Chain A
Amino acid sequence: MIMAAINITFTEVTKILLQGFGETCLLFLLTLVLALPLGLIVCFCVMSRFKPLSWLMKTIVWIIRGTPLLLQIIVVFYGPGLLFDYPMRSRFIAVLIAFVINYACYFSEIYRGGIQSVSKGQNEAAQVLGMTKSQTFFHIILPQVIKRIVPPMSNEIITLVKDTSLARIIGVIELITVAQQIVNNYVILWPLFYAGAFYLIFNGLLTLLFGFIEKKMSYYKV
């Protein structure tokens, strides 16, 4: 390659990586904001007493959790074009859809575990006090669920940060994509490790945040 002869400075690499990191952060945040509520809805469907809905959702969760995310991204991106002759316009949107569905399914299982771990007595106590079903859920069950699911959620969310790098399979420009481009263009390896440091620091901050949330919620014990 001809370009490879030119040198690149640390500052320049940092600038390029930051651009890629911006895209990574956007994908991460949007996935989180959309998948957290969607996961709760999926969880309600799975736990529904209406059996057909429950079975349908259980099957979807099984497929999503049972196949690689990489494959799901490809299906979402190429599927509409191949099946309905309606190609995906935006690569970013395709990745976002795949991520939101995938993470909603994982989150739904965490929610389900959380909801089932709150004792039946809590529900009954609220009932005999005349609370409605929605009052009981939002004022009694959900706050206790949130406290319980912080540790497994933080695990899943940290995985999400790293999973964003899968977006490059359909050509979304994110952190690893740009690092890889520098590596290819300048025949140097270190920008890839430098990119790794971005993930590490970001996850470090998230870990601190979750620790803080856990501490905030330790004002009561169950």
Chain B
Amino acid sequence: MTENIVKQTPDTILEVKGIKKNFGATEVLKGIDFSVKKGEVVVIIGSSGSGKTTLLRCLNFLEFADEGIISVNGEVLYDGAVEAASKKKLKNNDKLLRAKRLHFGLVFQNFNLFPHKNVMANLTLAPSLQLKKDLRAAKKAQRVAKKAGQECSPIKRDYENFDAIKAKALATLDRVGLIEKKDNYPCELSGGQQQRVAIARALVMNPDILCFDEPTSALDPELTGEVLKVIRELKDSDTTMIVVTHEMEFARDVADKVIFMANGVIEEAGTPAEVFGAPKSEKTKSFLASRNK
């Protein structure tokens, strides 16, 4: 546990403390602590049912932890104790929840692209809707301020106008190498291409931390390479990432820090050299041995 305190340096972007989550009588997460520094790539490994996916879902507020604290850039986003005590549950507060969620991006195992929107629209839909909403709110605030005879300070926005969103979407598509597919529909793309679009879609939202939930598990083996290549390139541009994966080779290669999870706890954590090269825990050893067969 001392390790966590040591790592509380100014460049710590994510701090997770004592996350617990039960589904009914099943304890899925039994107290998870870890932190992520800016630009760091944390890879989470472990067998199925160890709680890796649930952890990511708690970070993205798709599930709500029963206990524990999640803070980003020093700001406490979620505190299980506060949530349990408060009557106004976070999951029922659309507006607040949205603001918290946008610190994180999530790339799903099975992409979850919007099938009725083309690639470009998949990327631009969420930011455009948000901008539309923001502009409407700003107009209203200005009207109210005018009535009261005051100056209205502009709301901080991710994008100033729709052209900026479009430009960012195009630039991001270019980054994942799919600019020529911008007008295609998801059903016209291969699995690997779809997943690259999903990554681009998450990037357009400018998340502080990008999470990947087994991004290559639904892909044919020959298509995993292109997705992993994109993630490697993101690492080179200092994107902070948490990657849940079964690709051990990739984990060893790309991770700054590896977390091995088993039965809802962090069994072992350290640099790839430490975890893969000299695992201390018996569970880690046997897991790695089973993977290397």
Contacts and interface: CB of A to CB of B under 8 A. Distances in A.
Contact of A130 (B113, B126, B186): B126
Given A144-B116, A221-B115, A222-B115, A132 B108 contact: no
A89 to B, nearest CB: 44
B130 interface: yes
B125 A125 contact: no
B98 interface: yes
A122 interface: yes
B112 A122 contact: yes
Interface stretch (A6-14, A133-141, A150-158, A180-188): A133-141
A220 to B, nearest CB: 5
Interface string B52-95: 00000000111000000000000000000000000000000011
Given A121-B112, A125-B108, A131 B62 contact: no
Contacts of A124: 62, 108, 112
Contacts of A86: none
Given A121-B110, A220-B186, A128 B105 contact: yes
Interface residues on B, range: 20 to 34
A121 B115 CA distance: 12
Contacts of B62: 124, 127-128
Nearest to B97: A127
Given A125-B114, A133-B94, A139 B205 contact: no
A91 interface: no
Contact of B205 (A130, A140, A144): A130
A196 B287 CA distance: 73
Interface in A176-222: 219-222
B89 to A, nearest CB: 12
Contacts of A125: 108, 112-114
Contact of A220 (B105, B125, B185): B185
Nearest to B204: A129
B106 A128 contact: yes
B63 to A, nearest CB: 10
Given A121-B108, A144-B115, A128 B60 contact: yes
Interface of A: 119, 121-122, 124-133, 135, 139-140, 143-144, 147, 219-222
12 contacts: A121-B108, A122-B114, A124-B62, A126-B126, A128-B60, A128-B105, A128-B106, A129-B205, A132-B94, A133-B94, A135-B129, A220-B115
Interface of B: 60-62, 94-95, 98, 101-102, 104-106, 108, 110, 112-116, 125-126, 129-130, 133, 185-187, 201-202, 205
Given A130-B102, A220-B187, 14 more contacts: A122-B112, A125-B108, A125-B112, A125-B114, A126-B126, A127-B62, A128-B60, A128-B104, A128-B105, A130-B130, A131-B98, A131-B125, A131-B129, A221-B187
